[in-house]
Amino acid sequence: MKSIRTVLVTGGTGYIGSHTCFYLMEQGYKVIVIDSLVNSSVKSLERIKDILKKNNNRDLISLEFFEGSLNNKEFVDYVFHQALNKGNKIDAVIHFAGFKSVKESVQNPYLYWQNNVIGTINLVSVMNKYICNKIVFSSSATIYNANNIDLISEKNEIGPINPYGNTKRANEIFLSDIYKSDKQKWGVINLRYFNPIGAHPSGLIGESPKGIPNNIFPIIMNIAFEKKQSLEVFGKDWPTKDGTCIRDYIHITDLAKGHIKALEFMKKKDSTNLCINLGTGKGTSVLELIRIFEDTNKLKLNYNFSSRRDGDAPIVVADNSLAKKILNWVPEKSISEMCKDGWNWKLKNPNGY
């Protein structure tokens, strides 16, 4: 069994990254974070420490932060070198860093390929130099061609339809080629996320998008908080039970824990090259999400219907049997808990960090 003690988390101050860093430390891992902070705040890391302190886990705090971009290979090399010098050789990487707006990626594909793909190539090349060969990559269900209504398994047809999705898929292909170059050496797990929402129940860490959010959950929370605008529901004539799109919303803490399970799996295996869905396997329509948000938090949400959004698919729900079987991972939290914890975070941090 390979030991993994020190984990580098790229993009570790972001929404999924920060929750994952918390659970890593809670499980006794030493964490090193790289983040450019262009889309996130370093305050999230202070908050993680606060949660550990509150839970009487002060002794588990082992967190180092380096501000910089994966586009700067010398910087990445410096981080690995520093860790080695301090006797904390980086044993594995969880790679979140990347831009994530579909809209922006269509307007500026160069930025997305440069940041998301070149950044990954730099990272993996430095990992190789420092004999760090285990990587968990933050992929997305967006890479699937989701034109059918069945649960989406990892064997589903791949077919991203925007530059953001293309960069996620390109990284998966790159990592697969790296794995094939030396199968005994490399461990690669691509985790394909469905729709993470909610926040840590403490209300200390959560999603803090810079600028105007595009995803439904932060939009719902803004509208519920400001009580001014109305949520535009994109389409009411989809081929679903109530005419609105169905997604697989997953509590951010369940998603974050999936990364720890992926590391645990790699500890047991010398050679791994896997793509694994992280979703609940249960679909929720936009109208159902609105209702559950209202009932859970005892409030009313203004909404109106508008036309379909370009690029949306009617139903995107995971077949999560592989994650359950291989990673021994089971999502535990309900949509109501997602709505409760997300709203708790919003009330405590109306403007994010």
Stretch that binds ligand UD1, among 47-55, 83-91, 228-236, 317-325 (CB under 6 A): 228-236
C-alpha pair distances (Å), 281 with each of 133, 191, 295, 321: 31, 15, 23, 8
Q: Which of residues 168-197 bind ligand UD1 (CB under 6 A)?
A: 195
CB of 1 to ligand UD1, least distance (A): 34
- Give DSSP secondary structure letters for 44-109: HHHHHHHHHHHTT-GGG--EEEEE--TT-HHHHHHHHHHHHHTT----EEEE--S---HHHHHH-H
Nearest to 15 by CA among 207, 217, 215: 207
Q: 61 vs 223, which CB is nearer to ligand UD1? A: 223
**Sole binder of ligand UD1 in the list 19, 47, 95, 100 (CB under 6 A):** 100
Which tokens in the block code for residue 63?
């967190």
Q: Which positions ≥6 away from 72 have C-beta within 8 Å? A: 122
Q: 3-state class of 353 per DSSP?
A: coil
Q: Which of residues 7-66 bind ligand UD1 (CB under 6 A)?
A: none
Q: 80 vs 345, which CB is nearer to ligand UD1? A: 345
Can 164 be counted among the known catalytic residues? yes
Residue in 15, 164, 193, 249 annotated catalytic: 164
CB of 143 to ligand UD1, least distance (A): 9
**Sole binder of ligand UD1 in the list 39, 138, 140, 208 (CB under 6 A):** 140
Distance CA 349, CA 343 (A): 10
Size of the site for ligand UD1 (CB under 6 A): 22
User: Which residues are part of the catalytic machinery?
Assistant: 164
Which residues of the chain form contacts with ligand UD1 (CB under 6 A)?
Answer: 100, 102, 140, 142, 164-165, 195, 214-216, 219, 231-234, 245, 247, 286, 309, 311-312, 316
